C-alpha cells in the first residue's frame, strides 16, 4: 500500500513537471488571431484567452459582433472585420494583424468558420449552395492561412483548425461536410510541409454545441425554403411524408 501511494505521488509530481515545461510563459507579444468570433466557439475562445493575458486579435463578421466582444473584454483585445468570402476583406485583416504584431510575428492562428449552410438531400441543392459554403469554410480559411504564413514562420507559431465532427463522417448533403473534409486534408498536408519552419498545425475535431448561429429552427426554415423551390417532379418523387419526417 505504501509503495502504491509513493508511486502515485511520484507520478503526479512527474506529470506536473512535464506539464509546466510546456506551459506558455511571457505572454506579451504572443498574439493570437481567431476567425469568426461573433458567437460560438470563436467568441468563447477569444474571451478565455483574453482573461489569461494573451493579446488576442478577434475577427468578426458583423459590427455588432465586434462591439459586443470589445465590451466584455480587456483593452488588449483587438477586433477586425473579416468576411472570409471576400479576398479584399481578407487582405485588410492580414494588414491589420501585421501592424498589430509589430514585427514579432504571429504566435497563433485559430481557424474557425461558423454558420448554418444549406443542409439537405444533394439533388435539392444548386451549385451556388455549395459555393456559398465552400468559399467561407474552405477557400476563405485556406486563403487567410496562406497570407499569414510569413508571420507564423517568423514567430515559429502554431495553427489550430477547429473542425466539426462532420470532418470525419458525412451525415447530410451540401457543402458543410465537404468544407470540413477539405480542411482536414489541408491541415494534414500543411503540417508536414511547414514543420521545417518550426510551425505546428493541430486539428480539433469538436462535437456539437448549441450556439446562436446553429439551431433546429434555422435548419428547418432553410429546409422549407429549399423544399418550396424544388420542381414539382422532385417534390413528387420524394413526397410530403419524406419531407415531414
Question: Active-site residues: which are they?
Answer: 176
Cβ neighbours around 188 below 10 Å, total: 12
- Given a contact cutoff of 8 angstroms between Cβ atoms, the answer to whether 184 and 134 are in contact is no
Q: How far apart are CA 142 and CA 170, in angstroms?
A: 21
Place of cell 429549399: 226
CA atoms within 13 A on the CB side of 31: 24
CA distances from 7 to 1, 2, 14, 17 (A): 10, 9, 10, 15
Strands (E), 39-147: 56-60, 78-81, 108-111
Amino acid at each position: 500500500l505504501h509503495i502504491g501511494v509513493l508511486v502515485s505521488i511520484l507520478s503526479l509530481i512527474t506529470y506536473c513537471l512535464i506539464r509546466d515545461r510546456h506551459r506558455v510563459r511571457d505572454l506579451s507579444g504572443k498574439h493570437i488571431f481567431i476567425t469568426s468570433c461573433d458567437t460560438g466557439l470563436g467568441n468563447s475562445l477569444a474571451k478565455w484567452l483574453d482573461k489569461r493575458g494573451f493579446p488576442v486579435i478577434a475577427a468578426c463578421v458583423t459590427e455588432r459582433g465586434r462591439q459586443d466582444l470589445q465590451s466584455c473584454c480587456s483593452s488588449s483585445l483587438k477586433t477586425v472585420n473579416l468576411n472570409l468570402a471576400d479576398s479584399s476583406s481578407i487582405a485588410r485583416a492580414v494588414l491589420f494583424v501585421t501592424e498589430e504584431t509589430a514585427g514579432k510575428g504571429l504566435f497563433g492562428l485559430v481557424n474557425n468558420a461558423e454558420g448554418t449552410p444549406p443542409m439537405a438531400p444533394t439533388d435539392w441543392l444548386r451549385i451556388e449552395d455549395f459555393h456559398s459554403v465552400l468559399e467561407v469554410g474552405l477557400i476563405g480559411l485556406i486563403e487567410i492561412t496562406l497570407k499569414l504564413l510569413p508571420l507564423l514562420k517568423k514567430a515559429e507559431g502554431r495553427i489550430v483548425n477547429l473542425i466539426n465532427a462532420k470532418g470525419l463522417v458525412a451525415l447530410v448533403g451540401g457543402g458543410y461536410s465537404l468544407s470540413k473534409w477539405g480542411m482536414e486534408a489541408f491541415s494534414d498536408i500543411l503540417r508536414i510541409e511547414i514543420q521545417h519552419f518550426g510551425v505546428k498545425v493541430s486539428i480539433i475535431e469538436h462535437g456539437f454545441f448549441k450556439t446562436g448561429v446553429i439551431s433546429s429552427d434555422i435548419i428547418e426554415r432553410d429546409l422549407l425554403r429549399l423544399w418550396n423551390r424544388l420542381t414539382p417532379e422532385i417534390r413528387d418523387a420524394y413526397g410530403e411524408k419524406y419531407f415531414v419526417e
